[in-house]
């Protein structure tokens, strides 16, 4: 039996001497952002280090794929912003031109007696949620006023509620009274 004990002791010594080393108290999971410290890494045996390095390489490759995907998405967004910005600029210029022409047409029609001239007074808003159109105003500009909606894009709400008063939403006239639905 002593030979068996000696053989077992030699097997234990051989196992310890060939790289079992000190056990690490925890296992770091790189996929969760948990990494070994330098001291912990030094306590790993060769097999554990190789496995840890493989996990880090997999994590690096995954991050690179995610970065490439995000970069592609960002590039696609940049490609669409140029044309969209140009379209916004074009529409803004067109809207300004139409508002200028509308103001000119309204002023000339007001001078011919077809509409009431407000005499350059600011638009009036009464407690009954009415608005009297002033020269140069559009449904967009009225809708954008803080005391109306604060958003020009809601002009169509004004138009829909005043269809009996407004035939063409691009043509409103000074002195014209519209209702402001709330």
What digits encode the pLDDT tens for the residues 100-119? 888 777 766 655 544 444 45
Per-residue pLDDT at 124 exceeds 80: no
The mean per-residue pLDDT over the stretch 75-99 comes to 83
181: its two tokens: 């639905």
Bigger pLDDT: 86 vs 64: 64
Distance CA 150, CA 16 (A): 78
Dihedral angle computed from the Cα positions of residues 178, 139, 161 and 173, in that order, rounded to the nearest 10 degrees = 40
pTM of the model: 0.36
The mean per-residue pLDDT over the stretch 14-19 comes to 47
Closest CA to 138 of 180, 174, 111: 174
Using a pLDDT cut of 90, give the percent of the chain over it.
Answer: 43
Listed in sequence order, the residues at least 6 apart from 123 whose beta carbon sits closer than 8 Å to its beta carbon are 131, 132, 133, 134, 137, 142
pLDDT band at 126 (very low <50, low <70, confident <90, very high): very low
Residue 178 confidence (pLDDT): 93
Phi, psi values for residue 131, rounded to 5°? -140, 135
Using a pLDDT cut of 70, give the percent of the chain over it.
Answer: 74
Residue 91 confidence (pLDDT): 84
177: its two tokens: 């009274």
Q: Which of 23-32, 106-115, 120-129, 160-169 has the lowest mean pLDDT?
A: 120-129
């Amino acid at each position: 039996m002593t030979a068996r004990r000696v053989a077992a002791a030699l097997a234990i010594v051989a196992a310890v001497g060939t790289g079992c080393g000190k056990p690490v108290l925890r296992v770091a999971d790189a996929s969760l952002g948990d990494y070994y410290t330098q001291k912990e890494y030094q306590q790993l045996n060769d097999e554990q280090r190789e496995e840890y390095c493989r996990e880090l390489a997999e994590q690096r490759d995954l991050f690179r794929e995610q970065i490439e995907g995000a970069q592609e998405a960002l590039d696609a967004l940049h490609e669409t912003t140029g044309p969209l910005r140009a379209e916004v600029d074009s529409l803004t210029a067109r809207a300004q031109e139409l508002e200028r022409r509308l103001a000119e047409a309204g002023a000339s029609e007001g001078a011919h007696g077809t509409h009431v001239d407000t005499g350059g007074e600011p638009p009036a808003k009464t407690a009954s949620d009415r608005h009297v159109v002033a020269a140069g105003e559009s449904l967009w500009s009225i809708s954008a006023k803080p005391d109306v909606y604060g958003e020009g894009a809601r002009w169509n709400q004004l138009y829909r509620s005043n269809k009996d008063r407004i035939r063409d939403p691009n043509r409103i006239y000074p002195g014209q009274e519209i209702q402001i639905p709330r």
